Chains A and B, each alone.
Chain A
Amino acid sequence: MHQPLKPATDAELRDMIAEAVATGTPLAPVGHGTKAGIGHPVNHLSLDLTALSGVTLYEPDELILSVRAGTPVDDVVALLAEHGQELPFEPPMWIRPDGAESRGTIGGMVMTNFSGPRRLKVGAVRDQVLGISAVSGRAEPFKAGGRVVKNVTGYDLSRGLCGSWGTLAVATDVTFKVLPKAETEASLLVRGLAPAAATSLMTAAMQEPDDVSSAAHLPPDIAAAITSFGAASTLLRIEGFAPSVKARIASLSKRIARHGSVELIEEQASRAVWRAVSDLTLLSDFQHTALWRVSIAPAAAAVLSDKIAGKLSTRFAYDWSGGLVWIWVTDETDDLGAKVIRDAIAGVGGGHATLVHGPAEKRVTVDVFEPQAPALATLNARLKNQFDPAGILNPGRMVREAR
């Protein structure tokens, strides 16, 4: 194995990619390596981007932030907090290969597009990206988008690169729209609901004008692991200016009263519990063979769980009002439960499942990302081929290579 490549400048990065093209050497772009265990296992030469680091433009009045791809997300979160602002999609915490907690790097965050509980209201990472500079698999540096919020000049290529797992281009710089942090927050808690009742409650709450920013349901054992509530917990978060939060908490409490006994979770406890919900992948209290992250129509969460529960031994937690279902599989199965889970998803109108934890040897044969219909899969393959005709950017990571 070669020493990892570590470009210090954009020009070095371009030259390294050009060299890789010339020699046919596949590269694995990497920041903190917090998501190294997601995707099909690859054994490419590491392209360490952490030297391309730093904030290049931050204008709080304009709500604009430009930052180099290798910059730690934690640093950016801290900088924004100094100005009362934030990345509103709540980038979750992960574990580095050395065991330390980290939100990873900006490049990793953008290329994987994982968002936290507030995604329900404000959108995902990709919704806040305004522009990207990158080097494609043709060793050509290019930019897309810009530094203003409203911009429809050309294809929205910066959004197109989000969630591409380093397979189309290697980002060097990303510009975000940032938002003011809410002045305060509080949550409402209903204890003891079964999944179906919890789904009903969250669905009802999202149809009220109280502007719920996050809605989650934790079964008793997961609630016990991350809260002191001592029972299954259904949580609704309200954020904003203090008088508004107070008024909305009051009105929402009344509106959902028929669903159970409603308790108030004050600001600090609310922040803590949502942080824990955001970081559910860190949960290590339970032995599991696989952790799946499932995206479906939110109101179908309980039905999906029912379809799976009879066939697999699992734990579920719901975020995004049920639109995000975490599934911890405890059975030993050949496919880590992929077929059962994906059949269930198809049975509730569609969506997708991504394997977040799973042993490398299984990830060779199990589809980590949702397999796509043929026309869509070939369209994706054509896009990959246009940006990376030599196939040197993380080949095999997203789409399992034929063996």
Chain B
Amino acid sequence: MGLIAMPEPDRATLAGREAIVAGLRRILPAERVVVDERGLRPWETDGFTAYKQMPLAVVLPETTEEVSRILAFCHAQGTKVVPRGAGTSLSGGALPLADGVLMSMMRFNKILDIDFANRAVVTQPGVTNLGITRAVEHNGFYYAPDPSSQIACSIGGNVAENSGGVHSLKYGLTTNNVLGVEAVLMTGEVVRIGGKHLDSEGYDLLGLIIGSEGLLCVVTEVTVRILKAPETARAVMVAFDDVEEAGNAVADIIAAGIIPGGMEMMDKPAINAAEDFVHVGYPRDAEALLIVELDGPKVEVDYLLQRVEALVNARGATSCRVSTSDAERLGFWAGRKAAFPAVGRISPDYLCMDGTIPRKALAHVLKRMNELSAHHGLRVANVFHAGDGNLHPLILYDANNPGELETAEEFGADILKLCVAVGGALTGEHGVGIEKRDLMPEMFTDVDLSHQMRVKCAFDGKQLLNPGKMFPVLHRCAELGRMHIHRGELPFPELPRF
């Protein structure tokens, strides 16, 4: 195991496991309360596989009523609950707790209502991201956010993580594409927020829930906006012998008022790893490869491709290929989409980082990252959602070498600190989870974090939902809630309060 410590399990809970299981079995049939070691093993990790933990038990509810009763029971018992979708989180968001019940939502696997007139789909949370598109594509519609795991990841997990994807530059993140949810609070109370209408009422609880990493509530139903698929899409693949010029080309495209459907960049190590893997004709000697995809009506796409070509050539592109068929376009993407497994082939293990930076800082960040690579003695390959500044450095290491995971984690932390230092963020789309939990103070002060925790306290005052994730230090809500102000005395918020 690496450097990240989980909270010490509660001994009383561990000792009371039998009673908890018995209580759960009063709510669910025995086969949907998993307690034996063989049955629990598949749940011990998520997409952040460096960390493993067996849960206390796994429950598989099928109805909102069951979720409500389980949560109410755990709330009364003071038992922690970790909600889980497909378990594809790259930040350990669904990592079980030894003293916590893991609640799998994957039996909520039905689409409830397809409403083309209102361009909305009402779905249960265990339906996969791609499953929504599959259900509406016969009528030319799709669901826009497309995380790379879309074949497997669930829409409930997307809500928890506010998932993005290569198209988020133009079409937004999950938060911009969800209209409503039904959710169960830790107390068992069921709330409905939003619906098929725009702009939900009251406080923007949808905004708070989406991206809350399973710490606020368990989502049991999601209403998403679907869009008519663009008529056509074409891509241009551009090589540069200078990373900075590639970054400038991206800025020029944006400045020209063009918002591509996707705009991705890879650095030399990533280009070569991908080319070794999928052989799609990537230029091996390029320092940076840019893939720009334009989608929309054919007239618009053709027109904008010409403009993009002119802009990248003005920035000294060394080659520029425009797709002339869908097969060729998908070929451009094949290497990019295979970048992670491609890197997996050249290294026994890798850590995938997920920082965001202002685009203009790209050249500086890559240069500094090479210095860090030399310092830590580990290689790094970079893929980059260039349009929105979301950087995925892949740190190559070998877990069989003692200490190398820890070195890779330190290298990763250095990269994320660098992202924050240039005005960026710790995570663009993978979430904080356990992975970046201890780095939160790099971006937020204690007071900033205490205001985030107050959201937690409003939703889950006993802090039983997914504790140990997102926040570096847990404070009891009562402790956090203290505010001593006597008449005439001004508080000093610059002083830490805990």
Whether the pair A156, B447 counts as a contact (CB closer than 8 A) is no
Whether the pair B299, A243 counts as a contact (CB closer than 8 A) is yes
Closest 6 CB pairs of A and B: A159-B207, A180-B257, A244-B300, A297-B196, A150-B428, A352-B201
Whether the pair B198, A320 counts as a contact (CB closer than 8 A) is yes
Alpha-carbon distance between A37 and B359 when the two chains are bound, in angstroms: 42
Whether the pair A156, B425 counts as a contact (CB closer than 8 A) is no
Whether B140 sits at the interface, judged by CB under 8 Å, is: yes
Whether the pair B228, A156 counts as a contact (CB closer than 8 A) is no
Whether the pair A160, B118 counts as a contact (CB closer than 8 A) is no
Alpha-carbon distance between A390 and B452 when the two chains are bound, in angstroms: 18
Whether A363 sits at the interface, judged by CB under 8 Å, is: no
Contacts A147-B358, A159-B175, A352-B201 given; does A154 touch B300 at CB 8 Å: no
Whether B46 sits at the interface, judged by CB under 8 Å, is: no
Q: Interface digits, A236-276 against B, CB 8 Å rule (1 contact, 0 not)?
A: 00001101101110010000000000000000000000000
Contacts A155-B211, A386-B481 given; does A299 touch B192 at CB 8 Å: no
A-B contact pairs, 10 of them (CB 8 A): A140-B493, A149-B356, A152-B173, A160-B204, A164-B204, A203-B118, A207-B116, A320-B198, A382-B461, A386-B454
Whether the pair A386, B457 counts as a contact (CB closer than 8 A) is yes
Whether the pair A148, B207 counts as a contact (CB closer than 8 A) is no
Set of chain A residues within 8 Å of B175, measured between Cβ atoms? 127, 156, 159
A150-B428, A160-B203, A382-B461 known; 10 other A-B pairs, CB under 8 Å? A120-B198, A142-B450, A147-B423, A150-B385, A153-B432, A181-B257, A350-B197, A369-B201, A384-B203, A386-B455
Contacting residues of chain B (101-146) with chain A, CB-CB under 8 angstroms: 115-120, 140
Nearest B residue to A345, CB-CB: B197
Whether A168 sits at the interface, judged by CB under 8 Å, is: yes
Q: Which of B162, B198, B426, B432 contacts A323 (CB 8 A)?
A: B198
Set of chain B residues within 8 Å of A160, measured between Cβ atoms? 203-205, 207-208, 455
Shortest Cβ distance from residue A147 to the other chain B in the assembled complex, whole angstroms: 6
Shortest Cβ distance from residue A168 to the other chain B in the assembled complex, whole angstroms: 7
Set of chain A residues within 8 Å of B193, measured between Cβ atoms? 376
Q: Interface digits, A173-208 against B, CB 8 Å rule (1 contact, 0 not)?
A: 000000111010000000000000000000100111
Whether the pair B202, A376 counts as a contact (CB closer than 8 A) is yes
Contacting residues of chain A (101-126) with chain B, CB-CB under 8 angstroms: 113, 115, 119-120, 123-124, 126
Whether the pair B257, A379 counts as a contact (CB closer than 8 A) is no
Alpha-carbon distance between A141 and B196 when the two chains are bound, in angstroms: 36
Set of chain A residues within 8 Å of B31, measured between Cβ atoms? none
Shortest Cβ distance from residue B455 to the other chain A in the assembled complex, whole angstroms: 5
Contacts A148-B388, A376-B202 given; does A248 touch B297 at CB 8 Å: yes
Alpha-carbon distance between A302 and B65 when the two chains are bound, in angstroms: 35
Whether A308 sits at the interface, judged by CB under 8 Å, is: no
Set of chain B residues within 8 Å of A183, measured between Cβ atoms? 257
Q: Interface digits, B274-313 against A, CB 8 Å rule (1 contact, 0 not)?
A: 0000000000000000000000111110011000000000
Q: Which of B197, B216, B259 contacts A352 (CB 8 A)?
A: B197
Whether the pair B208, A155 counts as a contact (CB closer than 8 A) is yes
Alpha-carbon distance between A39 and B172 when the two chains are bound, in angstroms: 31
Q: How many residues of A contact B (CB 8 A)?
A: 99
Q: A298, A299, A349, A386: which has the most chain B beta carbons within 10 Å?
A: A386
Set of chain B residues within 8 Å of A9, measured between Cβ atoms? none
Alpha-carbon distance between A159 and B212 when the two chains are bound, in angstroms: 12
Whether B485 sits at the interface, judged by CB under 8 Å, is: yes
Q: Which of B259, B299, B429 contacts A180 (CB 8 A)?
A: B259
What residues of chain A have their CB less than 8 Å away from a CB belonging to chain B?
14-15, 18-19, 21-23, 59-64, 84, 113, 115, 119-120, 123-124, 126-127, 136, 138-144, 146-157, 159-164, 168, 179-181, 183, 203, 206-211, 240-241, 243-244, 246-248, 251, 295-300, 320, 323-324, 349-352, 354, 369-370, 372-373, 375-376, 379-380, 382-387, 389-390, 398
Q: Interface digits, B234-275 against A, CB 8 Å rule (1 contact, 0 not)?
A: 000000000000000001001111110000000000000000
Nearest B residue to A63, CB-CB: B254
Whether the pair B203, A383 counts as a contact (CB closer than 8 A) is yes
Set of chain B residues within 8 Å of A370, measured between Cβ atoms? 201-202
Set of chain A residues within 8 Å of B202, measured between Cβ atoms? 369-370, 372, 376, 380, 398
Alpha-carbon distance between A164 and B175 when the two chains are bound, in angstroms: 18
Whether the pair A247, B299 counts as a contact (CB closer than 8 A) is yes
Set of chain A residues within 8 Å of B172, measured between Cβ atoms? 123, 127
Shortest Cβ distance from residue B138 to the other chain A in the assembled complex, whole angstroms: 13
Shortest Cβ distance from residue B112 to the other chain A in the assembled complex, whole angstroms: 13
Whether the pair B168, A150 counts as a contact (CB closer than 8 A) is yes
What residues of chain B have their CB less than 8 Å away from a CB belonging to chain A?
115-120, 140, 161-162, 164, 168-169, 172-173, 175-176, 185, 189-193, 195-205, 207-208, 210-212, 216, 228-231, 251, 254-259, 296-300, 303-304, 356-360, 385, 388-390, 423-432, 436, 440, 443-445, 447-452, 454-459, 461, 470, 481, 483, 485-491, 493
Q: B185, B191, B451: which has the most chain A beta carbons within 10 Å?
A: B451
Contacts A148-B357, A180-B257 given; does A136 touch B451 at CB 8 Å: yes
Whether the pair A386, B443 counts as a contact (CB closer than 8 A) is no
Whether the pair B297, A140 counts as a contact (CB closer than 8 A) is no
Q: Which of B229, B255, B449 contacts A209 (CB 8 A)?
A: B229
Contacts A126-B204, A209-B228, A369-B202 given; does A153 touch B443 at CB 8 Å: yes
Whether the pair A149, B388 counts as a contact (CB closer than 8 A) is yes
Whether the pair B197, A139 counts as a contact (CB closer than 8 A) is no
Q: Which of A21, A127, A375 contacts B190 (CB 8 A)?
A: A375
Set of chain A residues within 8 Å of B229, measured between Cβ atoms? 209
Whether the pair B195, A351 counts as a contact (CB closer than 8 A) is yes
Contacts A154-B470, A163-B203, A295-B198 given; does A148 touch B425 at CB 8 Å: yes
Shortest Cβ distance from residue B159 to the other chain A in the assembled complex, whole angstroms: 12
Whether the pair B228, A244 counts as a contact (CB closer than 8 A) is no
Set of chain B residues within 8 Å of A380, measured between Cβ atoms? 202-203, 205
Alpha-carbon distance between A266 and B424 when the two chains are bound, in angstroms: 42
Whether the pair A154, B140 counts as a contact (CB closer than 8 A) is no
Whether the pair B185, A375 counts as a contact (CB closer than 8 A) is yes
Set of chain A residues within 8 Å of B205, measured between Cβ atoms? 160, 376, 379-380, 383
Q: B119, B197, B298, B388: which has the most chain A beta carbons within 10 Å?
A: B197
Alpha-carbon distance between A86 and B77 when the two chains are bound, in angstroms: 52
Alpha-carbon distance between A360 and B162 when the two chains are bound, in angstroms: 40
Whether the pair A154, B432 counts as a contact (CB closer than 8 A) is yes
Whether the pair B448, A155 counts as a contact (CB closer than 8 A) is no
Set of chain A residues within 8 Å of B493, measured between Cβ atoms? 14, 138-141
Shortest Cβ distance from residue B225 to the other chain A in the assembled complex, whole angstroms: 10
Set of chain A residues within 8 Å of B388, measured between Cβ atoms? 148-150
Shortest Cβ distance from residue B406 to the other chain A in the assembled complex, whole angstroms: 23
Whether the pair B451, A387 counts as a contact (CB closer than 8 A) is yes
Whether the pair A21, B431 counts as a contact (CB closer than 8 A) is no
Set of chain A residues within 8 Å of B443, measured between Cβ atoms? 146, 153-154
Whether the pair B359, A296 counts as a contact (CB closer than 8 A) is no
Shortest Cβ distance from residue A287 to the other chain B in the assembled complex, whole angstroms: 28
Q: Which of B119, B251, B390, B458 contacts A61 (CB 8 A)?
A: B251
